[in-house]
Each structure stands twice: as C-alpha cells, then as structure tokens.
C-alpha cells in the first residue's frame, strides 16, 4: 500500500491500522458483479468495524442496474468497502471491496493500485455478470481466484461445470463459499494466498 492519507482510492495508511506486532501488510481486492456478496465478505472476515460506502438505491439506477436475481437488494456500494484481517502475528490483509455496477467501474483503477491479488465472487444465478470482471482482471494482469458464493436460492452446479461456463484456465483456483460465515470467507482468502505463493515459485518448482 502507498503512504497517502486516507481516501477512497489509496485507503488508510499502514501506520494507522497495522497492529504493532505485524510486519507484512498485503492489499487484496474483492470484485464481482452487482449483489454477489462483496460487502458481506469484507464485513464477515474483518477484525475491525468495516468501512462501507453503501447507499440506498434510488430511481436513478432504474433501467441502469441489472437487478435480476437480486430484486430485494435496496442498498449498493458506491465507492468501496474496507476491512482488515490478521492471519497471524506477522501477516495482515487489507481488504477492498469494489462497486459492482458498471457505472462505478471507473473507481477500480485506483483501488487496484498496489494490490497483490483479487478474489472474484460469482453467483450461479448470474454467471454472465462475471465475464467483464474476469476480462478486466486478465487484461490488467492481476492474479485472482474465483469463489462461488452459495446463496440459498442459487442453483447448485459442480465446480467443474462452473469452470467451463466461466471459461477459467485450469490453473486459476475455483472454490465454493458462504461468505456470510467468517470461517468460509477466511478460507477464500487463504486460497488466494496459496495461489499467489504458487505463482511466485520458479516454473521448475511448480
């Protein structure tokens, strides 16, 4: 992370939120389509009160935001969500959740500055909402994993079928999750860290 003062793009300064015992801070971005659970994931795993920028949805989004499958949703992130989780005494993750609607995607560039990797949340009711997200990450060269958020009303499909539907490369981890649960959300973050560790290894060691 940079040393800028707090704002919606740079986030908080490490010295402001990093526990005294921690020596390594890693920035992770949580992305995905509208209503896939990004705010929920950040809030579930954060050890501090998460910063959210949710606002009540208004008629301004009518005909613009695709509410298929999430018709009951009445609030949306308009800038970012922020949380923090200490995985051990030395390693702390800063989590930044992005807005889901495409009209707010211009904010993504700043949020990805300094990020080590990303978690892409998907909902099986609306897999097509993830295509543009995945494409942007691939174009930007940001390492990522994909987590299928298991909503109670979402159809259940084997992960290999979801992988094929998303056209994911074999080396990109795909995991199931219930991001309302802290343990499940933490497992998603650990899966990303393992993926980043694997990518950092020499090719001959993989």
Q: How far is Cα 31 from Cα 96, in angstroms, rounded to an integer?
A: 9
Q: How far is Cα 184 from Cα 69, in angstroms, rounded to an integer?
A: 23
Ordered by start, the domain boundaries in the chain are 14-205
Over 80: is that where the pLDDT of 16 sits?
Answer: no
pLDDT for position 88: 84
Number of Cβ within 10 Å of residue 83's Cβ equals 25
Helix axes 182-200, 38-45, angle to 10 degrees: 100
pLDDT for position 58: 42
**What one-character-per-residue DSSP string does 77-111 give?**
ESS-EEEEEESSSSEEEEEEEPP-SGGGGGGHHHH
- Per CATH, the homologous superfamily of domain 14-205 is P-loop containing nucleotide triphosphate hydrolases (3.40.50.300)
pLDDT mean over 21-40 = 86
pLDDT greater at residue 101 or residue 81: 81
Share of the chain above pLDDT 70, in %: 68
Instruction: Please name which of 72, 79, 75 lies closest in space to residue 96, comparing C-alpha atoms.
Output: 79
Beta pairing class for 75-77 and 81-86: unpaired
Task: Read off the pLDDT band of 103 (50, 70, 90).
Answer: low
With a CB cutoff of 8 Å and minimum separation 6, the contacts of 114 are 1, 2, 27
3-state secondary structure of 14: helix
**What distances in angstroms separate CA 133 from CA 101, 105, 122, 137, 147, one per listed residue?**
11, 10, 10, 6, 13
Task: Read off the pLDDT band of 189 (50, 70, 90).
Answer: very high
pLDDT mean across residues, the chain: 78
Query: Is the entire prediction scored with pTM above 0.85?
Result: no
């Amino acid at each position: 992370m940079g040393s800028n003062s707090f704002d919606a793009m740079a986030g908080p300064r490490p010295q402001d939120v990093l526990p005294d015992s921690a020596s390594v801070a890693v920035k992770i971005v949580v992305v995905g389509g509208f209503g896939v659970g990004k705010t929920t994931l950040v809030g579930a795993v954060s050890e501090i009160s998460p910063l959210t920028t949710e606002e009540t949805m208004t008629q301004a989004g009518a005909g613009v935001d695709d509410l298929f499958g999430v018709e009951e949703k009445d609030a949306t992130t308009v800038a970012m969500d922020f949380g923090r989780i200490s995985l051990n005494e030395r390693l702390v993750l800063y989590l930044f959740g992005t807005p889901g609607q495409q009209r707010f995607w211009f904010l993504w560039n700043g949020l990805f500055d300094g990020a080590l990797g990303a978690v892409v949340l998907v909902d099986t009711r609306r897999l097509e909402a993830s295509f543009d997200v995945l494409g942007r990450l691939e174009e930007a060269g940001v390492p990522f994993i994909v987590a299928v958020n298991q909503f109670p009303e979402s159809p259940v499909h084997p992960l290999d079928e979801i992988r094929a539907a998303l056209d994911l490369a074999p080396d990109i981890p795909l995991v199931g999750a219930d991001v309302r649960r802290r343990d499940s959300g933490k497992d998603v973050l650990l899966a990303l860290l393992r993926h980043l560790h694997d990518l950092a290894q020499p090719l001959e060691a993989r």
